[in-house]
Amino acid sequence: MAKIKNTLTSRKQVDLKINTKVTVPGDKSISHRSVILGGIANGITEITGFLESGDCLATMYAMQSMGVEIKKNGNKYIVNGVGKHGLKAPVGSGIDCGNSGTGMRLLSGIMAAQAFDSEIFGDKSLNSRPMTRITKPLELMGANVSATKKGTAPIKFKAVEKLKSISYQSPVASAQVKSCLLLAGLYCDGDVSLSEPKLSRDHTENMLRGFGCQVTSNDLTVNMKGGQSLKATNIQVPADISSSAFFMVLACLLPDSEITFVNLCINPSRIGIIGILKLMGADIEFINQSTNAGEQIADVVVKSSDLHGIEIPHQYIASAIDEFPILFIAASLAKGQTKLTNAMELRKKESDRITAMANGMKILGVDCHELEDGIVINGGKLNGGQVDAEDDHRIAMSFLIAGQFSNGAIEVKNCENIMTSFPSFLEICNTLGLTIK
């Protein structure tokens, strides 16, 4: 797949109308988890629909560096699981997660429990993100783990024999923190219990059950008996709702248009984007609903809609946390004011997504202002201009979609990181008739 260039320009295609079906690549969150759990399971796991993005491939390479044999056969990845205690010390200086926070935090849960020393790190962006949110509870479980003085990666792990049980109240609603502790819990004596302030994604719980592990959920608390082993299974990765979000907003804003997203993951902990768009007036429908490996799947039909501003309910924030950049674009073109609060987590992503999006939207003539924990956007129109994606894939794609609705071309700098999550983004844009060069 061709590398995405650093600077791209998006220009309005006059009178564009779209009526088609779109299949976006496999879900990123599920792809990460499938190769990790498959690697420490007993037996052979076949994964169909694995997302071949930079982030997910970094996680795959990490498992391979610890002795897991993974081969591609047609459209499937074959993972020869080594069992919980079959991993080996990674070769070289350690494990490089690139730009993937999910990969780093999930892998840390496993590496903290091994009988060998190891180290995990990432690129400049990832090495600036907060990691005490996982190192602190891992220490409480008996892990010998250390981060930098700033609480960031690289993270170093010393060999341990076994971890101990934990009952932990997480200060943040984070599927990555929850997943880290559940994976570590596979290596501990006693139970693991984790409570969150809000519901976060539950892909790890679903997949652990698919691998034969007993996990129970009660409101905002997850419980798991420690020390369980995993039995290999086959996984069909559904399409990624986070990738679809860009084209959902496109379908809402384009006149006389309708896009059907095929085989989309509609896990309730992931559909905040749909809940928010519906409150804004979007016409969205689920059809052909089914379940696969504990994940709810459907074809999702999105039609042209008259969007209006809203005050975004806090209940949707955790389940839409990755989709806010494109939601900000929707808000900038909706009628009236949109207000987001209680979303401080957006400042701790690949970039400070509140500031980065506000800076870009102001350049494009949007009336908006930052709040400490959110943003206020007054809808109207978008002008052309040059914006900086700050090496954040979701910001880059959001401004490129915005170019379809601006009064002039939008030039977006620092777009290369689109490859980390959605390598076929430009290909799908071109298929739909968008002009991005």
The residues that are catalytic are 322
Q: Cα torsion for 23, 29, 34, 37, to the nearest 10°? A: -170
Alpha-helical runs (H) found in 280-392? 324-333, 353-363
Q: Which residues contact 277 (CB under 8 A, 6 or more apart)?
A: 248, 249, 252, 284, 305, 307, 327, 330
The tokens describing 197, both together, are 């302030």
Q: State whether the Cα torsion 5-349-100-274 is positive or negative.
A: negative
Q: Which residues contact 431 (CB under 8 A, 6 or more apart)?
A: none
Q: Cα torsion for 319, 323, 324, 326, to the nearest 10°? A: -160
The tokens describing 325, both together, are 């950049």
Separation between Cα atoms, residue 145 and residue 124, nearest integer Å: 21
DSSP letter at 244 equals: H
8 A C-beta contact, residue 357 and residue 328: yes
Q: Cα torsion for 177, 178, 179, 184, to the nearest 10°? A: 90
Q: State whether the Cα torsion 92-61-416-405 is positive or negative.
A: negative
Residue labelled with tokens 């082993």: 229
CA angle 125, 319, 308 (to 5 degrees): 105
8 A C-beta contact, residue 386 and residue 368: no
8 A C-beta contact, residue 377 and residue 354: no
370 burial (CB, 10 Å; 0-12 / 13-18 / 19+) is middle
Residue labelled with tokens 């400042």: 347
177 burial (CB, 10 Å; 0-12 / 13-18 / 19+) is buried
Separation between Cα atoms, residue 89 and residue 119, nearest integer Å: 10
